[in-house]
Copies of this chain bind each other. A is one copy, B any other.
């Protein structure tokens, strides 16, 4: 999906919501366990319930990988079911030496047909570039993540008093551009969004960490949005596990609606 098409979706729906499909067999409503592929059945119902309120879906690959080959089948079927109007993100946090990163890129962009993959920056240029070489596809590079461990290395100061996450962003912006490169910036660092917008005024930011991780939605919208929004704000557990019985999809919809309403006041 192009940047322009993503802007349009956001404008139409007054939403920059991304729904994280972090689907865990141990947390599914019991009535779904009778199906041959409960993960897929759950995802289908979540997608049906939320698709008018969000612009993107982001399965975290760990949840599928933990189930072995069967999980990869559930993932492929889920991806197939997501409407073409929606931006799809494989939250995989991959990164390897050049020729191996090419294979990861092939896995998510060719074998499957995701619009974007999250990529880890530690191994540098040749680990990231193979993902950028796919026409019409996106890299979403980890910059400042939402978890507590982001304190360990991402803030350590480099030359020119530059924290590592800033160096990662500035360096990666010489490899890609606003049409193929986004950054992960956690909602748990709302005070950093103004600075980050000075570094990357045009790139989309994928923002995890509202909801279960305690990030601040209004703060992110206020300090992080550009005139065309430029944000994809993710919620996973807060939406998909909003309810746990037979009415789980309705509860998920209400939870997504609450977020979309806040977004609509800004967009």
Contact = CB atoms under 8 A, between A and B. Distances in A.
Interface of A: 22, 24, 60, 62-63, 65-70, 72-73, 76, 93-98, 100-101, 103-104, 106-107, 111-112, 120-128, 142, 145-154, 156-159, 164, 167-168, 171, 208, 213
A124 B95 contact: no
Contact of A93 (B98, B120, B147, B152): B120
Copies in the complex: 2
B126 A65 contact: no
A66 B69 CA distance: 12
Contacts of A22: 100
A103 B66 contact: yes
A120 B95 contact: yes
Contacts of A154: 122, 124
A112 B124 CA distance: 29
B146 A97 contact: yes
Nearest to A67: B111
Contacts of A151: 124
A123 B107 contact: no
Contacts of A24: 103
30 contacts: A24-B103, A60-B100, A62-B103, A63-B103, A65-B104, A66-B103, A68-B72, A68-B76, A68-B111, A93-B94, A93-B95, A95-B120, A97-B145, A97-B213, A121-B122, A122-B142, A122-B145, A122-B153, A123-B147, A124-B147, A125-B148, A125-B149, A126-B147, A127-B149, A128-B149, A156-B159, A156-B164, A157-B158, A157-B159, A158-B158
Contacts of A147: 97-98, 123-124, 126-127
A149 B120 contact: no
